[in-house]
């Protein structure tokens, strides 16, 4: 099992190190190779996604990714900015299906900014299309306007577009995912205004015909944003385009108390995937040893389940995370009165310990 380890920028290297520690406890034949990505790669190779890093990612069975980005690169030409690394990986590897679960751990119900009763037991899966939409649509650029409100003035433009096969394949992913859980899909669009999303909705309805056992409803994106903070538990699987998914998944993440808890998976058509925490590189706390490594550790668990066919090992990691939370250990982002504040490394060590104890116990029972 070849795993490409791409820590990236900011807190990326700190949190990925903890996930690697956890993976190493499992007695599995991993071959891990590290490579720079994002600003770190720009410093070393003059490009955020060097050929060598892209090649390593292509050759691997799965990719564990930290985070990229730092304000100090904001002045660089767009193609050289750290964010281009993750966009490039998504595009070159065809990682069109992004899974962003928003799960509220029972132990963290009080860390949410919403009332506990609104989020207790929350378990939403956002499926975001990841290689199309206005993120990648051509043409885009700057030019002199020939029409519009101010002809002759300077303007910028991007293109929102989706082809039928792009919508069909993400629709299948969503319906199949829903089958394995609450059997309900909410497709989020803006069909009342945008042609692209009227088409999105039409194609969703067509594909739904193959999944009579799954319920489908449709919601405009503005209403979806409102419902997420009003009654988030009404959702099971939410499927949407790249741009809306970017925004809604951050909102959904925060319902759970901290974006520092949430993993994500970005899969290609063969379930090869890139796994990363849902949060960013947090340059403001980088190097301080206080970042929450749990989202990355849970991303490693997702990797074992989706790409490496090791569901048991994945469950053990998830159980270990649950156990450290029950012990009352909290990084600063999820800390509250009466719990014990720990740093990145201590949190990683605690997960390793819980996992080792569990593995030892299983061996005793089996042996």
Tell me which residues are annotated as active site: 135, 190, 222, 246, 250
Query: Do residues 60 and 2 lie in contact, with contact meaning Cβ atoms separated by under 8 Å?
Result: yes
**Residues at the interface with ligand IPM (CB under 6 A):** 69, 83, 86-87, 246
CB of 252 to ligand IPM, least distance (A): 12
Query: Do residues 242 and 131 lie in contact, with contact meaning Cβ atoms separated by under 8 Å?
Result: yes
Residue with smaller CB distance to Mg ion, 243 or 301: 243
Q: How far apart are CA 232 and CA 124, in angstroms?
A: 8
Residue with smaller CB distance to ligand IPM, 86 or 352: 86
Residue with smaller CB distance to ligand IPM, 70 or 333: 70
CB of 246 to Mg ion, least distance (A): 4
Measured from each CB, the residue nearest to ligand IPM is: 83
Q: How far apart are CA 114 and CA 122, in angstroms?
A: 12
Strand partners, 260: none
**Burial class of residue 71, CB neighbours in 10 A (0-12, 13-18, 19+):** exposed
Residue with smaller CB distance to ligand IPM, 21 or 190: 190
Residue with smaller CB distance to ligand IPM, 174 or 355: 174
Query: Do residues 175 and 207 lie in contact, with contact meaning Cβ atoms separated by under 8 Å?
Result: yes
CB of 29 to ligand IPM, least distance (A): 30
| 178, 209, 221, 272, 290 from 344: Cα distances, Å | 34, 47, 36, 28, 5
**Residues at the interface with Mg ion (CB under 5 A):** 246
**Residue owning tokens 């720009």:** 42
CB of 323 to Mg ion, least distance (A): 30
Of residues 131, 12, 128, 130, the one with CA closest to residue 65: 12
Residue with smaller CB distance to ligand IPM, 173 or 324: 173
Q: How far apart are CA 2 and CA 15, in angstroms?
A: 20
Q: How far apart are CA 30 and CA 351, in angstroms?
A: 19
| 126, 127, 242, 250, 358 from 173: Cα distances, Å | 11, 8, 15, 21, 33
Q: What count of other Cβ atoms lies within 10 Å of the Cβ of residue 77?
A: 7
Out of Mg ion, ligand IPM, none, which partner does residue 268 contact, by CB within 5 to 8 A per kind? none
CB of 99 to ligand IPM, least distance (A): 12
CB of 269 to Mg ion, least distance (A): 23
Q: What count of other Cβ atoms lies within 10 Å of the Cβ of residue 110?
A: 15
């Amino acid at each position: 099992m070849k795993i490409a380890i791409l820590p990236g920028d900011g807190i990326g290297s700190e949190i990925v190190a903890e996930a690697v520690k956890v993976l190493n406890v499992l007695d599995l034949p991993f071959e891990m190779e590290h490579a720079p990505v994002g600003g770190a790669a720009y410093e070393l190779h003059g490009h955020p996604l060097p050929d060598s890093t892209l090649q390593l990612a292509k050759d691997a069975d799965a990719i564990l990714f930290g985070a990229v980005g730092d304000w100090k690169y904001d002045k660089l030409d767009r193609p050289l900015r750290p964010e281009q690394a993750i966009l490039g990986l998504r595009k070159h590897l065809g990682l069109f299906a992004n899974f962003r679960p928003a799960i509220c751990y029972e132990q963290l119900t009080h860390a949410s900014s919403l009332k506990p009763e609104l989020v207790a037991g929350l378990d939403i899966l956002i499926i975001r299309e990841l290689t199309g939409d206005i993120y990648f649509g051509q043409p885009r650029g700057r030019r002199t306007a020939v029409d519009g409100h101010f002809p002759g003035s300077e303007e910028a433009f991007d293109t929102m577009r989706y082809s039928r096969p792009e919508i069909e394949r993400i629709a299948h992913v969503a319906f199949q995912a829903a089958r394995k859980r609450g059997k309900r899909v909410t497709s989020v669009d803006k069909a009342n205004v945008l042609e692209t999303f009227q088409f999105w909705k039409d194609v969703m309805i067509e594909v739904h015909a193959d999944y009579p056992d799954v319920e489908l409803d449709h919601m405009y994106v503005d209403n979806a944003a409102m419902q997420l903070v009003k009654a988030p538990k009404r959702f099971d699987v939410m499927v949407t385009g790249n741009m809306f998914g970017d925004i809604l998944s951050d909102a959904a993440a925060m319902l759970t108390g901290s974006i520092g808890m949430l993993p994500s998976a970005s899969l290609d058509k063969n379930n090869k995937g890139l796994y990363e925490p849902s949060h960013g590189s947090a340059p403001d706390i980088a190097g301080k040893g206080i970042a929450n490594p749990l989202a990355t550790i849970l991303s490693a668990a997702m990797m074992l389940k989706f790409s490496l066919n090791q569901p048991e090992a994945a469950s053990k990691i998830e159980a270990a995370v649950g156990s450290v939370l029950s012990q009352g250990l909290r990084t600063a982002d999820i800390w509250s009165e009466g719990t014990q504040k720990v740093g990145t490394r201590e949190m990683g060590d605690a997960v390793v310990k819980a996992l080792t104890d569990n593995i030892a116990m299983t061996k005793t029972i089996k042996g």
